[in-house]
Amino acid sequence: MKALYIASLALAATPALAHHGVASLGSAGLEGPGAPVETSSSATLPENKWLGLVKLDYAKFRTGIAPAPEVDYNQYWMAGVGYGFKPWLSIYAFQPYNVKVDQVGGLNSHGPTDLSLAAVIGFKYDQRFMLVPANESLDDLRDWHFTVNLGTSLPTGNANHRLSDGSIDPSKSPGFGKSSFNYGMTATKQFSENDTAVFEVNQIRFQKYRYDDGNTMKFGTEIRLNAALSHRLMTRPESKFRLDGNLELNYLVLGKDSVNNSPDDGSGGDILYGVLGMRLYQDNMSVGLALKKPVWSKLNEPAGSPQQGSEGKEKYRFVATFSAMF
């Protein structure tokens, strides 16, 4: 059960941090700053432009360890749309769809989860702090750029989804019952013609929800500290093609869950992921591909009751994004 709680944190991360899927923001700049796959960059949408995106985060879990994660694999899908109301203000809506498959004999679930909304406010430093202007030269794009992100989910998913045995497992429910809230900042600096550094800090907070079976759950707060380097590998201006390689470190701090108002000592922990990815740009489209693996973890595992959590025990995560501007 605890394993599934942890798995649900991953589930939570997708809708609540849906702007992660906008890491590229359709970033198709042939000479501008690069954009990692997992770490959100400090890009905003041009005024009156739309962005459409699809993201898949496929998490495959380890086997042959004790205690073994109950989950076999999860697929976190997400479709989103964004609009640039101002050069410095972008608004996004995301609809996730999750598939969670257990090991043989387990209980699976799938379905659309909570719709989420996010606002991204962009600013930069050029002699002074200022909102991102409508027009920037390639040299202006090399200034430090920042965003402040604010988001919330709406409880549109079915939090009381019954599994095939009639039970409710919050970690497998396609909804959280109540809104979650996330906020964060990003900083981006293109420090050479081909290299860009991106930093991100983000927090998600959840609310307590009472399920139809009478149990309550408050998922632990998540904090993410991400850093990334993007290197432009190839540019073909005549065909508007660009290829970047990305190296990222994603540090995830998971707070303990609270079950029926009692802390779950076997939940939460710290995990450091290494991410190796690439991003292709063609015309107004961008595709990001990344392989993500936990390289270090310190999970909360009380003596005699080791955590059975799945996050931090992935064999690998494969992340793919597609975005297009129109």
Partner 1 sequence: MSIRAFLLVGILLARDHALAHDLWIERAGTLHTLAYGHERSGHVGAKALEYKPENVKQAACFNTAGQEIDALRGHAYPATLKGDCAASGFLTSSGYWSKTPYGTKNLPRNDAGAVIDSWLSVESVKRIDQWGEGLARPLTRELELAPLDNPLILQAGDKLRLRAWFRGKPVAGVTVAYFGKPRGVTDADGNVNIRLQNPGFQLIQASLDLPLNDDKADKAIHTGGLQFEIK
The binding site for partner 1 (CB under 8 A) comprises 25-35, 41-46, 49, 51, 87, 126, 133-142, 145, 188, 190, 196, 237, 240, 281, 284, 325
Which residue's CB is nearer to partner 1, number 168 or number 285?
Answer: 285
Distance separating alpha carbons of residues 251 and 21, to the nearest angstrom: 17
Shortest Å distance, C-beta 258 to partner 1: 39
Shortest Å distance, C-beta 41 to partner 1: 5
Which residue's CB is nearer to partner 1, number 177 or number 288?
Answer: 288
Contact 287, 319 (CB under 8 A): no
Distance separating alpha carbons of residues 196 and 203, to the nearest angstrom: 24
Shortest Å distance, C-beta 249 to partner 1: 20
Which residue's CB is nearer to partner 1, number 45 or number 217?
Answer: 45
Distance separating alpha carbons of residues 46 and 44, to the nearest angstrom: 7
Which residue's CB is nearer to partner 1, number 218 or number 279?
Answer: 279
Shortest Å distance, C-beta 155 to partner 1: 32
Distance separating alpha carbons of residues 217 and 213, to the nearest angstrom: 11
Distance separating alpha carbons of residues 246 and 232, to the nearest angstrom: 9
Q: Is 124 exposed, middle or buried (0-12, 13-18, 19+ CB in 10 A)?
A: buried
Shortest Å distance, C-beta 133 to partner 1: 7
Q: Which whole-number Å values give the CA distances from 70 to 7, 43, 314, in the listed order?
A: 9, 38, 12
Which residue's CB is nearer to partner 1, number 13 or number 43?
Answer: 43
